[in-house]
Structures are given as C-alpha cells and as structure tokens.
Structure 1
Amino acid sequence: MAEFQKSASDTGSSGVQIALLTKRIEGLTAHLIKNKKDYATQRGLKKLLGQRSRLQNYLKKRDFNEYSKVMSGLGLRMK
C-alpha cells in the first residue's frame, strides 16, 4: 500500500483503495478455500471484486500511467 500512497496519510486515492481491496480479496479467497459453503462470504467477495473493478476502470480512464503502475505492482492483469 505504501508504494501507491501520494503522501504519508493518503488512504483515499484510487491506487491505495485498489491495493486495500486486493488484500481483502486475497483473505476472503483463502477463507473460501477452506469453507466452500460460506455463501455470505461469497456474496461479499463478489461485491468487493465489483468495487475493485469499478476503481480500476476509473483509474484507467483518469491516469493510465498510474493504472499500469498499480496493476503491475499488485500482480494483477490489465483489462
């Protein structure tokens, strides 16, 4: 997260939000591997994936250089 912050107290920029969502998504994915029938968590995961996708689209339109930096830094595929 620190590599995407614009200042020390930056928690709201798109890159930071994408990094935080990615961390939460990884945690939920690990949980769902152990608990396959946890449908409430599956719903929450889908919600987070949609939110991250919207942020990625926004960042891609707004600042493509920042978008490519965030995506490569997190190891995510570019759309």
Structure 2
Amino acid sequence: MYLTKEAKEKLFKKHGKDAKDTGSSEGQIALFTERINHLTEHLKQNRKDYNTERSLVKLVGKRRSLLDYLMKSDILRYRAIVKELGLRK
C-alpha cells in the first residue's frame, strides 16, 4: 500500500489526539485527504482507470459527509481542519 503504518501513525498524531486515535473526525478527514491526493495523481497518469475514478468520487463523498458532521457539531474544529489541510468548500 502507498501509506505505511508509520506514516498513518504520524498523520493521526498530527491531526488527532495521539497516534492511536484513529476514530477522530479530524484524523479520518486527514487520511481521506491523503488518499484523495494519491488517487488524483494516479488518475493524472491513467485517465481511463474508471474503477479508481469511482473510488475517488466515493472518498470525496465520505470526506464531505465527515466535514458536514464536524461543521454541525463543532464549527471551530471544522475551521481548524479546513485551514490546516487547505480544503475549501
């Protein structure tokens, strides 16, 4: 896989409470963003890979759902993660 266990732990440590906090919304959004960026680069080279394109669209939808949940529950955490990851609506 493109993301090693150590890289995931570092990602969750940076965006979650600690390296083992894989369930936090911020950690999941950061992981989805990393996967989306990876798939986007793959699709730039393999433009006819429709299965990957479908997976990318599903991931974007999951991330959007998590961002909507975070916006409804805690607007400050939402603004922080959007600013930190460089996302925009």
**TM-score, length of structure 2 as denominator length:** 0.83
Q: 2:14 and 2:76 mapped to 1: Cα distance?
A: 14
Residue 77 (structure 2) pairs with residue 66 (structure 1): yes
Q: Aligned-residue CA RMSD in angstroms?
A: 1.0
Q: 1:19 and 1:75 mapped to 2: Cα distance?
A: 11
Q: Which runs of 5 or more structure 2 residues have no equivalent in the other structure?
A: 1-10
Residue 49 (structure 2) pairs with residue 38 (structure 1): yes
Percent identity between matched residues is 51
1:29 matched residue in structure 2: 40
Q: Give structure 1 regions of 4+ aligned residues with deviation exceeding 6 angstroms.
A: none
Q: CA deviation at 1:3?
A: 2.6
Q: CA deviation at 1:6?
A: 1.8
Q: 2:25 is matched by which residue type in structure 1?
A: S
Q: CA deviation at 1:4?
A: 1.9
Q: CA deviation at 1:9?
A: 1.6
Higher mean displacement: 62-71 or 7-16: 7-16
The structure whose RCO (Cα within 8 Å, separation 6+) is larger is 1
Question: CA distance change for structure 1 residues 73 and 35 in 2, over 3 Å: closer, same or farther?
Answer: same
Q: 2:38 is matched by which residue type in structure 1?
A: G
